Amino acid sequence: MLRRACLWAMVALVILWTAFPLYWFLKLAFDVPAGAAVFPPPFYPTKPTVASLATALGFRYVDKDGQVYLPSGLARQVRIGLLNSFILALSVTLITMPVVTLLAYTFGRLEFRHKNKLIMAVLLVVALPPISIIIPFYMLFLHLGLVGKLGGLILVTLTVTIPLLTWMLIGFFRNLPRVEALARIDGLSRMRTLITIIIPMAKVGLAVGSMICFLTAWNEFTFAHILVTGTPATTLPPVISGFLFMSPQPTQLAATVLYSLIPPFLLAYWLQRYITTMNITEPIVR
Amino acid sequence: MSEIYVKDLTKRFGKTVAVKDLTLEIKDQEVMVLVGPSGCGKTTTLNCIAGLEKPTAGRIFFDGIDVTETPSHKRNIAMVFQSALLYPHLTGAQNIRMSFKAQKISREEAEARLAQVVRLLGIENELDKLPSQMSGGQRQRVAIAKALARGAGVLLMDEPLSNLDAALREELRSELLVLQKQLKTTMIYVTHDQVEAMVLADRIVVMQNGTICQIGTPNEVYNEPLSTFVAGFIGSPPMNFLRGTLHTGENGVKFMFQGRFIDLPQRFRKAGFGYQEGQQVLLGVRPQHIRLLPSSAEAKLVGTVYAVERLGKENVVTVEMLSGEKLKAIAPPEIQFHIGDVVHIDILLDNVFVFDAETGQNILSSGAMATNRIVTVHAESS
């Protein structure tokens, strides 16, 4: 009985630990600007409203009492950031997934010389902290004129997502049933086997992979911070971090954070049933 | 007609040799079972015949035509894989239809074949199910149906029943045999289960380390094993081997074991049975040819009961001899043996084998391996 009580107490603690900050900014996002200044801070919005959600995006909002909320001065940046983040995450995912499907399939199911060494190379790139390669990239991009360009950021982000996703999906591809022999007897070519048999079989893993890829690009901060901050190509993470130095309206900041959380939330919700069925914890190198 | 001739097949994976200089002829409508422990090269041989592996050296002929370079789907074969391999994202019917993909047959023909295999294997209820929704036996039936739907002359089976429980395995085994006779296909069947091999085979190929130890009918392999390996592999519980020496005595050949002489029967006196005085040999005795007696004047060997396995119709008794060697004997269930009992061991000498201790070759049939080899010369096209 005591054990059970202890267990639940721990669970409650963990939920509180992770969920409370989330609740706190949600509370702020739905409060009026004045509510954020109340001391001691209340545990619920002083006057629940969606005003900050509207003003953070640059809309004027009038509530039913006739109170007028003016658009945020940072709204333009938020809108550009949202749009750029979306373009970045989508293009990175669309480029990464076909490449990674081929790579992970090759590493996971085919035997060739130096395979383990090449897998170790992929792993090494995954293990490399992005910050350690940003300076060479910056110098290179200066010469190529890619600094401050979304295209440049997409290119750099691919160097993170492709190894990461390859590494994650190798084990998944390897655990699929060995149907290639069956397909060969049925007379399917290698490419046709991959497209008509393997990819449909692997759709769960590929869906989860796409999600992880999209979120990695969506959340990518280090490269974006160095390469595109303050330019028209800026993405949402550097925009939000930049706000901290501009003493923003707390409720509008919370609303912006809320916007940045919507895509991950939707994706995770949509794909949650796949995540557990996908085994990505298998060791890769044999 | 579907004859297969494998000539000097060698397959290497990097430095390991999986199959070494293997020559094998499979006759039309024959059930040939390749049997051996894991890693003996039986599956690799099958994959080479199927065209899934490219031989390092050697040729493969189907009906006298060299198919070594022919891709799998253009060979006259169908294959059932280990653990009932099916496309997991396709239903039973879709899986079977995949067999028609590369074949140029009309829609009517395809549907007729589908209907035929469905009827043959009784899988009407599996057609709309995914493999994951079928039971092991059903999945195996669908996999066999899918293979049969190709209408190929040769059916290749790679341990198809190994993942089923014993009862289901026996049921499908006899069904397979009936199907094969009905469809008159040639069948090559790979298994590590010697019982399955004995039941199914017209001829058995016993393999070890990538080479053939013996080819023969189940009877030949069981009654005239060429080596200790074949003798030990075929038959359950396995054959016992007693290490001793051969000597000439007044009544013919004598086997000396632990200081006692045992007279070998008449057939060891025939011409051609060559041995040297004092040659080290292994006496092979099947468990059913050992009688255990509570006490006996004529029995020459004594041991103590080490373990008793009760199988109902018989008991398998393990006896530890004074030298520490262990023998397995089959005893009728009426006789109660207890661990630690002292028993007298009576060997039914009419059924023993003598193997050379060094080479493991059966002394009576040494040289027989050469005559058993296929010497048929094939008209090699090209």
pLDDT, tens digit, 9 for 90 and up, residues B172-196 = 998 898 998 888 899 999 999 999 9
Q: Are residues A104 and A145 in the same domain?
A: yes
Average pLDDT over residues A12-18: 94
| Cβ contacts of A183 on chain B, cutoff 8 Å | 98
Average pLDDT over residues B4-16: 92
Tell whether A184 is within 8 A of chain B (Cβ). Answer: yes
- Is the bond preceding B225 in cis, omega lying within 30 degrees of 0? no
Residue of B nearest to A199 (CA): B89
- Give me A176's structure tokens: 């699929």
Q: Are residues A133 and A209 in the same domain?
A: yes
pLDDT of residue B298: 61
**Which strand (E) or helix (H) includes residue A173?**
helix A150-174
Average pLDDT over residues A253-279: 82
pLDDT of residue A285: 43
| φ, ψ for residue B235, nearest 5 deg | 110, 140
Total number of domains in chain A: 2
| Cβ contacts of B99 on chain A, cutoff 8 Å | 186
pLDDT of residue A278: 57
Residue of A nearest to B131 (CA): A177
Q: How confident is the model at residue B225 (pLDDT cuts 50, 70, 90)?
A: very high
Instruction: State the complex-level ipTM.
Output: 0.77
Q: Is residue B17 classed exposed, middle or buried when 0-12, 13-18 and 19+ CB atoms within 10 A define those classes?
A: middle
Alpha-carbon distance B79 to nearest alpha carbon in chain A (angstroms):
8
Dist. CA B354–CA B265, nearest whole Å: 11
pLDDT digits (tens, 9 = 90+) for A96-149: 999 999 999 999 998 888 999 999 999 898 888 888 888 898 999 999 999 999
Q: Tell me if A272 is assigned to some domain.
A: no
Dist. CA B117–CA B250, nearest whole Å: 66
Disruptive mutation site among A115, A175, A182, A204 for chain B (greatest number of B CBs within 10 Å): A182
pLDDT above 50 (res B139): yes
Q: Tell me if A91 is assigned to some domain.
A: yes
Average pLDDT over residues B245-262: 83
Q: How confident is the model at residue A277 (pLDDT cuts 50, 70, 90)?
A: low
Helices H, strands E: what count in chain A? 13, 2
Q: Are residues A151 and A234 in the same domain?
A: yes
- Give residue B229's Cα distance to chain centre: 12
Q: Are residues A191 and A219 in the same domain?
A: yes
Dist. CA A282–CA A175, nearest whole Å: 9
Q: Tell me if A254 is assigned to some domain.
A: no
Average pLDDT over residues A173-193: 90
Q: Is residue B44 classed exposed, middle or buried when 0-12, 13-18 and 19+ CB atoms within 10 A define those classes?
A: buried
Tell whether A99 is within 8 A of chain B (Cβ). Answer: no
Structural domain boundaries, residue A43: 18-69
Query: Which domains, ranges and CATH numbers included, belong to chain B?
Result: 4-232 (3.40.50.300), 238-379 (2.40.50.140)
- Give me B43's structure tokens: 């599956």
pLDDT above 50 (res A171): yes
Phi/psi region, residue A271 (left: phi>0; alpha: psi -120 to 50; beta: rest), is alpha
Tell whether A207 is within 8 A of chain B (Cβ). Answer: no
CATH code, domain carrying A95: 1.10.3720.10
Mean pLDDT of chain B, nearest integer: 87
Q: Tell me if A268 is assigned to some domain.
A: no
Which segment, A238-242, B155-159, B290-294, B332-336, is predicted with the most confidence on average?
A: B155-159
Average pLDDT over residues A9-20: 94
Q: Kindly determine whether residue B88 and residue A177, on different chains, have CB atoms separated by under 8 Å.
A: yes
Mean pLDDT of chain A, nearest integer: 88
Q: Are residues A128 and A38 in the same domain?
A: no
Residue among A178, A187, A200 minimizing CB distance to B89: A200
Q: Kindly determine whether residue A188 and residue B89, on different chains, have CB atoms separated by under 8 Å.
A: no
Average pLDDT over residues B320-341: 88
Q: Are residues A160 and A58 in the same domain?
A: no
Q: Are residues A222 and A191 in the same domain?
A: yes
**Cross-strand partners of B65:** B62
pLDDT of residue A248: 80
Domain boundary residue, one of A69, A86, A101: A69
- Give me B374's structure tokens: 């296929």
Q: Are residues A91 and A37 in the same domain?
A: no
pLDDT of residue B369: 38
pLDDT of residue A86: 95
pLDDT of residue B1: 66
pLDDT digits (tens, 9 = 90+) for B362-378: 887 654 433 333 333 33
Q: Tell me if A275 is assigned to some domain.
A: no
Average pLDDT over residues A240-269: 87
Q: Tell me if A40 is assigned to some domain.
A: yes
Q: Tell me if A148 is assigned to some domain.
A: yes
Q: Are residues A107 and A195 in the same domain?
A: yes
Q: Are residues A98 and A227 in the same domain?
A: yes
Q: Are residues A83 and A22 in the same domain?
A: no
Residue of B nearest to A185 (CA): B73
Q: Tell me if A160 is assigned to some domain.
A: yes
Share of chain A above pLDDT 90, in %: 46
Q: Are residues A31 and A113 in the same domain?
A: no
Q: Kindly determine whether residue B85 and residue A186, on different chains, have CB atoms separated by under 8 Å.
A: no
Domain boundary residue, one of A52, A69, A86: A69
- Give residue B60's Cα distance to chain centre: 22
pTM (whole model) above 0.95: no
Q: How many CB pairs below 8 Å do chains A and B form together? A: 54
pLDDT above 90 (res B164): no
Alpha-carbon distance A270 to nearest alpha carbon in chain B (angstroms):
21
Q: Give A181 or A278, the one with higher predicted confidence.
A: A181
